[in-house]
Amino acid sequence: MAAVTVRPATRSDVAAAGDVLAAAFEDDPVMEWMWPDIGSRRAGLPRLFETLIRHHHFPLGGVEVALAPDGSVAGATMWDPPGRWRQSALSQLRALPGLIRAFGNRIMVGAEFAGTVEKAHPEEPHWYLSTIGTDPSARGAGHGKALMNSRLARCDAEHAPAYLESSKESNVPYYERFGFEVTGEIVIPNGGPTLWAMWRAPR
């Protein structure tokens, strides 16, 4: 298998990274709960991810992309550095129009999810893996592994822990292979899904 190129995202990657993550998360239990209608989900997801990248993760230097052999974006991660995972008031204000376009009349559902996850978030400084995803057409080529190893190498160099929430129980063993351990479950109210909180000590 050829080595996968991973690099920090540039502004010109924002839309492509948003599209890749949207495709990766189309069948995600959280997204299915927030957008039960598949048409609305397909319209909303690219807007959601592009908004979050543009107004929160990209300014913090936390977005990386994995490239396909033709140079296109095949996978992406959204990380937040220690102490910076909570959106600033200014970031929230700038993101609001995009979130409204993404969610439409489901905006309060998105807010309820975000609030529940935020309450469960650990306070100890850590790198936060908000999102990782690979385009379905590119799965199995090592893009996800390369993306994970890229930022986890920095975590270890900084002797910093890492944290994520897995929205699929079936993905827990995958994250465990990188050193993450389940620390608890987060249940989204009003019939929402369960997430698995996972923590990784530095190596």
pLDDT digits (tens, 9 = 90+) for 59-94: 999 999 999 999 999 999 999 999 999 888 888 899
- Which CATH topology does 5-200 take? Aminopeptidase (3.40.630)
Count of beta carbons in the 10 Å neighbourhood of residue 141: 19
Q: Is the dihedral of CA 162, 168, 173, 177 positive or negative?
A: negative
The predicted model gives 185-199 an average pLDDT of 94
Among residues 68, 29, 23, the alpha carbon closest in space to that of 48 is found at 23
Look at residue 49 and tell me whether its pLDDT is greater than 70.
yes
Task: Give me the residue label for tokens 């080529």.
Answer: 141
Q: Which of 132 and 138 is assigned the larger pLDDT?
A: 132
Residue 10 has a pLDDT of: 96
Look at residue 11 and tell me whether its pLDDT is greater than 90.
yes
Distance spanning both ends of the chain, measured CA to CA = 26
For residue 20, give the DSSP letter.
H
**Average pLDDT of every residue of the chain:** 94
Sheet order of strands, 63-67 included = 5-8, 63-67, 73-80, 127-134, 162-166, 194-200, 181-187
pTM: 0.93
Q: pLDDT digits over 32-44, tens only? A: 999 999 999 999 9
Across-strand partners of 66? Answer: 6, 75
Residue 2 has a pLDDT of: 65
* Least confidently predicted of 18-22, 128-132, 182-186, 189-193: 189-193
The predicted model gives 8-19 an average pLDDT of 96
| Amino acid residing at 47 | R
Residue 164 has a pLDDT of: 98
Residue 67 has a pLDDT of: 95
Tokens at 28, concatenated: 């995600």
- Asked if residues 102 and 53 have their Cβ atoms less than 8 Å apart, the reply is no
Tokens at 138, concatenated: 């590119």
Task: Give me the residue label for tokens 């992309």.
Answer: 65
- Asked if residues 91 and 56 have their Cβ atoms less than 8 Å apart, the reply is yes
Look at residue 1 and tell me whether its pLDDT is greater than 70.
no
Q: Distance between CA 85 and CA 72 in Å, rounded?
A: 28
